[in-house]
Amino acid sequence: MKKNTSCKLKKSFRLKIWKIGVWILLALAPAMKGKSQESRLFKLNIRGVYDAKVSLTPYEDGRYNQAIQEIPGVKGSAEINVPGKYLPGQFLLRMDYRQKSEDQPYPAEFVFFMNREDLVLGINPLAVRPDSIDFGSDQENPAYFFFQQKNNQRRQQLALLEQLLAGYDSRNGKFFKAVTEEFEKRRAEYNQWISDQEKQYGNLFISSTFSFQKVPVTRWDLPEEARMTEQAVHYFDEIDLNDPLILRTQEFNDFVTAYMRMFGMKATSEQLRDSLFTYAGALACEKAASGHPKVYGWMVDYFYKGYETYNIASGIKMLEKHIQNPHCLTAKKQEIIRRLEGMEKLTVGTEAPSFEAEMVNNMQVRFQGLSNEKTYGLLIFYNSECSHCAELLETIKKWYDKPENKAWFDVISVGVDDDRELWKKFHLTQNYPWTDVWAPGGINSRVATEYYILATPVMFLVDSDKKILLMPESVEQIQEFLNMD
């Protein structure tokens, strides 16, 4: 009896120890995760030039945005500490080099990958090619460029068959069937080779980029339009949308952009474009919804930015159900909510809100309606650093110079720059023949909030009662409205 009791006590003790161990691991998990966020050293050894200004920029949020560090006058070598939050990741190395001290700087760029280890690169800015770069003990970049080289060789024959099938006009003959079967055979072999490469280099960050090269199933027996639709439906089938590391690669952004290009090629009118882009976004976001929350959120943000750029209201409305999904980690949630609210509240037939703004001499003005002698008012919200805004304002200026337009219209332009001095500098160079004011607070000002301004330019055409008649995107749309009226 004592022996059995002793065994039970030992088993019970072991179980408690195991449980304590599990809880210790759970408690240490944040600390262990934090350790992986430590910075790593990037060292650059430059040869073949007099000197260079060196900068290193991480890829994030779909672009190379702000450099981690910029070092002028590098001769020989330079070191940069890369914060752990960017690792693993893709980076842009820029070298503005001089061959001689009296030369003007000339740019050279190189894109590379860095994992959670220190990296030493030996490079000659005059010959920025993978085969001329010393990667030291690094595994990531040599493996990536080796894969790219082999991939181009294997993809070539598949591409030739693809071109033949796409242009072949008789789809019922034996030859077409034979080529289709050969294409499918080679496609399966090619995709399997990529899967094998993913396994072989599975411990490397760059393996996350391989799947973007896979070729989805293609229904060659279908007409071209139906075939493209089928391709779109299966476009993301080979991509691991549960892997958040793909967001750190430019290839994922390029992959989604190529997806949108498929739909853009079919858009023969603005109305059809809006419809196709909305459909494309719906397909992609539904696919991403079953993946990692960060990937899902990135996809929603990607399409929101596109829909804002092209002012596609149907697309923004489509995103509503996704931002309500707690699984979606979108950075644009509040912007999308504001945009949706604006679409509901600030529509044709509603009253344009009154607002206060500042003139260049600091005088406060309040928009409460049109001048008594005017029939229409045009409100233009812009940012002085927005090139599209500048083009639109210049077009409006030429249009407004015509006596028949000036006689009927009040025009008020509202700068929503965050920096008043930038707006003032722009204002003083333009000499607009209308009232040009600044909204204190810029894009976060009260007027921008009440008019739901998230991107610029935005225009509102109103009548003498401040009722919104139109939210035009161009002078042509204003003119069309007036002709209809």
The superfamily CATH assigns to domain 355-484 is Glutaredoxin (3.40.30.10)
pLDDT computed for residue 8 by the predictor? 38
CATH tag for 40-132 (out of 2.30.31.20, 3.90.1150.10, 2.60.40.10, 3.40.50.300): 2.60.40.10
Q: Which of 215, 211, 216, 182 is nearest to 196 (CA)?
A: 211
Mean pLDDT value across residues 355-365? 90
Instruction: Look at residue 20 and tell me whether its pLDDT is greater than 70.
Output: no
Output the six-digit token pair for 261: 């290009």
Q: Would you say the C-alpha torsion 92, 305, 333, 414 has a positive or negative sign?
A: positive
| Range with the poorest average pLDDT among 25-34, 259-268, 431-440 | 25-34
343 phi/psi in degrees, rounded to 5: -65, -30
Residue 208: helix, strand or coil by DSSP? helix
Instruction: Tell me the DSSP string of 128-166.
Output: --GGG-B-TT--HHHHHHHHHHHHHHHHHHHHHHHHHHH
Residue 357: its H or E element: strand 355-358
171-186 residue pLDDT tens? 788 899 999 999 999 9
Instruction: Look at residue 7 and tell me whether its pLDDT is greater than 70.
Output: no
pTM over 0.85: no
Three-state SS string across 221-266, please? CCCHHHHHHHHHHCCCCCCCCCCHHHHHCHHHHHHHHHHHHHHHCC
Contacts of residue 81, Cβ cutoff 8 Å, sequence gap at least 6? 39, 40, 41, 42, 68, 69
| Range with the poorest average pLDDT among 17-21, 151-155, 361-365 | 17-21
- What is the pLDDT of the chain when averaged over all its residues? 88
Q: How confident is the model at residue 19 (pLDDT cuts 50, 70, 90)?
A: very low
Instruction: Look at residue 408 and tell me whether its pLDDT is greater than 90.
Output: no
- For residues 308 and 455, the answer to whether their CB atoms sit within 8 Å is yes
107-124 residue pLDDT tens? 999 999 999 999 999 999
Instruction: Look at residue 27 and tell me whether its pLDDT is greater than 70.
Output: no
Q: How confident is the model at residue 404 (pLDDT cuts 50, 70, 90)?
A: confident
458-467 residue pLDDT tens? 999 999 888 9
pLDDT computed for residue 485 by the predictor? 54
Q: Which sequence spans correspond to the domains of the chain?
A: 1-35, 40-132, 140-345, 355-484
Instruction: Look at residue 17 and tell me whether its pLDDT is greater than 80.
Output: no
